[in-house]
Amino acid sequence: MKAPKPDDPRRSALMARVRQRGTAPELAVAAILRSLGLAYRLNVRSLPGSPDFANKHRRWAIFVMGCYWHHHTACRSATVPKTNEAFWRGKFAANRLRDARAVRSLRAAGYRVLLVWECEVDAPDDLRRRLQRSLNRVA
């Protein structure tokens, strides 16, 4: 697997803008969780996969997944770059395997795990109902 050319300044600038924490979808999910009155911690490193939101006492965890980076099945945003396609396919596959391992580990530890996809944030009322329905069972 060959990595993209690191000396391309445009690519470097693009990748520097990609954030792991504090993304717009995460902020939208945080606002919904606050409106539901649910307590949570951000990016809990002591849990497998460092969930974006977690409540250890209530035993739930939420991962907010970017449709592109985690290759959301049948989503328009889950494209594969044409340049260095083999590298990107391998990277996306590794991301999905890592995600699946984290979810399995959390579920084995007794956590309710929710995956919120970036595209779901576009329908905040539906997402709010889903979170309320799922998390009220454990509250």
Q: Is residue 8 part of a domain?
A: no
Structural domain containing residue 122: 19-136
Q: Is residue 11 part of a domain?
A: no
Task: Classify strands 60-65 and 41-42 as parallel, antiparallel or unpaired.
Answer: unpaired
DSSP per residue, 45-108:
TTSTT--SEEETTTTEEEEEE-TTTTT-TT-TT----STTHHHHHHHHHHHHHHHHHHHHHHHH
Q: Is residue 86 part of a domain?
A: yes
Q: Is residue 94 part of a domain?
A: yes
Q: Show the low-confidence residues of the chain (pLDDT under 70).
A: 1-7, 11-12, 14-21, 137-139
Q: Is residue 75 part of a domain?
A: yes
Q: Is residue 42 part of a domain?
A: yes
Q: Is residue 4 part of a domain?
A: no
Q: Is residue 95 part of a domain?
A: yes
| pLDDT (tens digit per residue) in 72-110 | 888 888 888 888 899 989 999 999 999 999 999 999 999
Looking at residue 78, which CATH number applies to its domain? 3.40.960.10
**Do 4 and 87 touch, CB atoms closer than 8 A?**
yes
Maximal CA-CA distance, the chain: 50
Q: How many domains does the chain have?
A: 1
In this prediction the pTM is: 0.82
